[in-house]
Chains A and B, each alone.
Chain A
């Protein structure tokens, strides 16, 4: 799927919201993000998969909050003043992704995206669609569907 995606969007201009997950700077197409909030008072769900931090009340809807760090194999996040939830529509429901910090919005040309290496800072490359390099930093493009619907917890 990701190769098709690359081919089809060769010359498209796209906007990325970037945020920090651990030491990684991660980018996500801005259209995928429904809202960003700091509702960090999460009700834990005992016995849920380890990457589920719990649930929040998002204006009357119960939304699952996941910790992308745990999925990527990093140690779980601790909540700080800069922590935020990115609320994303995925698989017919809303899911909140708890990130460590929100960074800039980048407007890039899709042709400048390089294929991801097999391994980025110790994280399996399958979660990423590509890599974009700015002057100072490397932004990895998140494959949201792999992250949230991935095979590791398809059964769940």
Chain B
């Protein structure tokens, strides 16, 4: 074979595999369409197979040519409506397509492989002799194995075993039960299931793994930027050559910009649509549900969402596991579903979307849901938690227990999933990627698993901390907050319980881990006047305070692998190179917890009396306190804050009368209190804080020189005295009056343009925006909650108490959802809910109950009144998620805001 030929063939293989990549799912669609043949779709498959056939014939690849030809024949008949696709014929075609793909992957040996079985079966189908084809499937099962393993070498690969299961499941579908072969088939199925999870990873040709397709436009941009980079270098060198070094700053700035852009463009080349992973799920769901005798409709949304190649590769296994779990444990048998008044066909939604600079993947089923009581029982039985813990645990927490190590949810271990090493491994794997996973479940309604993933693994925003003389990087994803304890507070805030130092933080006890102790390095003696720096970190299982000697800036770090000799250090996740060229180790928060022998139950936050007491109060909230001028204190509800950055004042650019901060390649508009509300201007300071919050999908920063505290406060909000736009009210904290800032209003005051779009949007969308009725007696909370609901794209009506809300509803106010506070005068939220449930036409209206703090008893009471969900008032993210869920259940969806996209 000449090298030209080899090149041609290589090209043929890559192209053909691309052609065939979608065929599997297309065939599945053809099957589900049944008699209503979608000619366009069949044509697509036909053309794909046809081009493979044509090229194979040209290159003298006889076997591929013949197989493709037979497959094409069947497709042609379907296209001409001479043959109605059913599960038997699609089965045969799927297997033929598999075989075709295998031939292509081993193209050099393809001519010596015997695929006559596939050809014969296809021909039988084409001759409308399905019964015989079916018989052929059963009889030739053994032969198939031999042929395929001959082709694949001696190792029996997962694919082959998978295709065996396909045979089994097809029989299950067609003949409903094939008792005679049951033992045999179950053992086969078992072995294949073991391998599918891991084996699928290796699926697909090596060529596709090593190569990546990049749009020419991206390459052009890279070329351009490379040119720019050379220019910048020349400019820099020239500047250095001049004695005065004039313009050095601008040259450096230029270089900085080009580098950022270049980095971004290169990252772009690694981005791939997540659909490449999703593609295999229809087949898995089909095969699995057929095998389990279930019916399942898989809906995939957001295939086009792009993430880094490494993430795509790493997420495949956990997703497969979760999908299999949902089909196996989540969905009920058709009979059970019907008995419960559901459609016999279950729905599984796999959805990917961008959310706040990350990628969210949701797996939602409408199955039986997870019963928290059973989970609790199991967990106690397995000694994961104590009976007392179980009693005080909320349902949400209970459901999350399925992620605990060693927890298997299956009542009996099936061969499909539930081997006891399920969800905790999934969670560990996802967390290893810098992501997180959460679960929500409503008994009877279904379960949603939410995975959050970073866009890329290569660069992670981190905080640089110092312990002893050395600096370490702490990934931002793990950081909850930073706490500084002044020397004079040490005695009152640090307690020693068992052998741990504990930090008193807002009424809870948080275990402390001293980084220098974990590392075994000596600590720099803290001078008496220096405060103690604590980074509150969280991984899936642990939440603790990491004590470090000092904090440096936050940096975006590039992760570098470590050598084999250092791999054994569990506290380190990798290394990075800091701006000054030094190496800093990246701290693995879970590893540190393990090294310091923190145990899950030991760090369970011990609630104090005061908090339990506070539970009763409906007005408790967490506020970030700051002072613009030392004499004037302001507060922002902590739940609205996305993050806080500390910057040097000179980093702020003033452009056209607006303050901007160039930050991570984006410009962040900045607001100043004194410019927008009646407030004294701050004193000049070298460094300021920027409180970043999210408004209509746009990040906005509020500048303040002094951050005072984060406090949980209770008490009445005075909405009258300081009534002005941008101020939501005032509250007395430590005998001084603190004004609570209304961030939405503040942003609106600062830039009407952002909300100009909104007016327009509202007008356009009024018809299709979901409508919500919000019942809330506190004006302050009404405005806040209303603010973020509107922000999420809802039309919000308000009512001042339950009675008012009910009157509006009875007057015929048409809404999709009711959100209600619990404690209200005249008629409280629970009474309102009962009234709604008792009413003939309103009965089905979903109700979300809101309160400041969720105590188990309250939740129990609320659910007894049949509310659909229960949310904490100021937890914007969760509330919106819950609203989204409820709306989906009633068939309305919350359209993402245009500005966000």
Contact = CB atoms under 8 A, between A and B. Distances in A.
B571 A43 contact: no
A156 B571 contact: no
Contacts of A60: 560, 577
A93 interface: yes
B519 A47 contact: yes
A28 interface: no
A66 B519 CA distance: 19
A43 B566 contact: no
A46 B519 contact: yes
A56 B582 CA distance: 7
A64 B470 contact: no
Contact of A48 (B569, B583, B595): B569
Given A43-B584, A46-B519, A55 B571 contact: no
B560 A62 contact: yes
Nearest to A93: B563
A93 B581 CA distance: 20
B561 A62 contact: yes
Contact of B571 (A47, A52, A54): A47
A45 B587 CA distance: 11
Interface in B562-606: 562-569, 571-572, 575, 577, 581-585, 595
A76 B567 CA distance: 22
Interface in B551-567: 560-567
B564 A91 contact: yes
Contact of B569 (A45, A51, A61, A94): A45
B14 to A, nearest CB: 28
Contact of A156 (B564, B577, B585): B564
Contacts of A44: 470
B60 interface: no
A138 B560 CA distance: 40
Contacts of A43: 470, 582-585
Nearest to A149: B564
Nearest to A43: B583
B581 A63 contact: no
Given A64-B562, A95-B563, A55 B519 contact: no
B581 A48 contact: no
A49 B560 contact: no
Contacts of A49: 565, 568
B517 to A, nearest CB: 10
A64 B566 contact: yes
B557 to A, nearest CB: 12
A48 B566 contact: yes
B276 interface: no
Contact of B565 (A46, A48, A61): A48
A153 B563 CA distance: 13
Nearest to B515: A46
Contact of A45 (B561, B566, B595): B566
Contacts of B572: 45
A112 interface: no
Contacts of A55: 562-563, 566, 575, 583, 585
A156 B470 contact: no
Contacts of B560: 60-62
Contacts of A94: 563
Nearest to A66: B565
A9 interface: no
A153 B584 contact: no
A57 B565 contact: no
B521 interface: yes
Contacts of B584: 43
B575 A62 contact: yes
For the residues of B in contact with A, the DSSP-based class is: loop
B563 A156 contact: no
A123 to B, nearest CB: 20
A52 B565 contact: yes
A69 B456 CA distance: 41
Interface in A21-54: 41, 43-49, 51-52, 54
Residue with the highest number of chain A CB atoms closer than 10 Å, among B520, B561, B563: B563
B565 A153 contact: yes
B596 to A, nearest CB: 12
A63 B563 contact: yes
Contact of B521 (A46, A62, A63, A93): A46
A108 to B, nearest CB: 31
A43 B470 CA distance: 8
A57 B566 CA distance: 15
Given A46-B519, A47-B519, A62 B567 contact: no
A63 to B, nearest CB: 7
Contacts of B577: 57, 60, 62
Contact of A64 (B519, B563, B582): B563
A48 B563 CA distance: 11
Interface string B523-567: 000000000000000000000000000000000000011111111
Contacts of B595: 47
A57 B569 contact: no
Contacts of B569: 45-48
Residue with the highest number of chain B CB atoms closer than 10 Å, among A56, A57, A63, A153: A57
Contacts of B575: 55, 62
A43 B566 CA distance: 13
A54 B565 CA distance: 10
A156 B565 contact: yes
A49 B565 CA distance: 7
A98 to B, nearest CB: 13
Interface string A55-82: 1110011111010000000000000000
Interface in B276-296: none
Residue with the highest number of chain A CB atoms closer than 10 Å, among B521, B571, B575, B595: B575
B567 A156 contact: yes
B568 A156 contact: yes
Given A62-B575, A93-B563, A57 B582 contact: yes
Nearest to A42: B583
Contacts of B561: 62
B564 A45 contact: no
Contacts of B582: 41, 43, 57
Nearest to B582: A43
Contacts of A54: 583
A91 B581 CA distance: 26
B520 A47 contact: yes
Contacts of B566: 45, 48, 52, 55, 64
Interface in A113-156: 153, 155-156
A56 to B, nearest CB: 7
B566 to A, nearest CB: 5
Given A45-B572, A55-B575, A93 B583 contact: no
A21 B682 CA distance: 62
Nearest to B585: A45
Interface in B705-737: none
A41 B584 CA distance: 12
A51 B568 CA distance: 14
Contacts of A93: 563-564
A91 B595 CA distance: 28
B521 to A, nearest CB: 5
Contacts of A57: 577, 581-583
Nearest to B562: A62
A17 to B, nearest CB: 22
Contacts of B567: 156
A62 B575 CA distance: 7
Nearest to A44: B470
A47 B577 CA distance: 20
A64 B568 CA distance: 13
Given A62-B562, A64-B564, 10 more contacts: A43-B470, A45-B566, A46-B519, A49-B568, A52-B565, A55-B585, A57-B581, A64-B563, A91-B564, A95-B563
**The 4 A-B residue pairs with the shortest CB-CB distance in the complex, in nearest-first order:** A64-B563, A46-B519, A43-B583, A62-B560
Interface of B: 470, 519-521, 560-569, 571-572, 575, 577, 581-585, 595
8 contacts: A43-B583, A44-B470, A46-B519, A48-B566, A51-B565, A56-B583, A62-B577, A63-B563
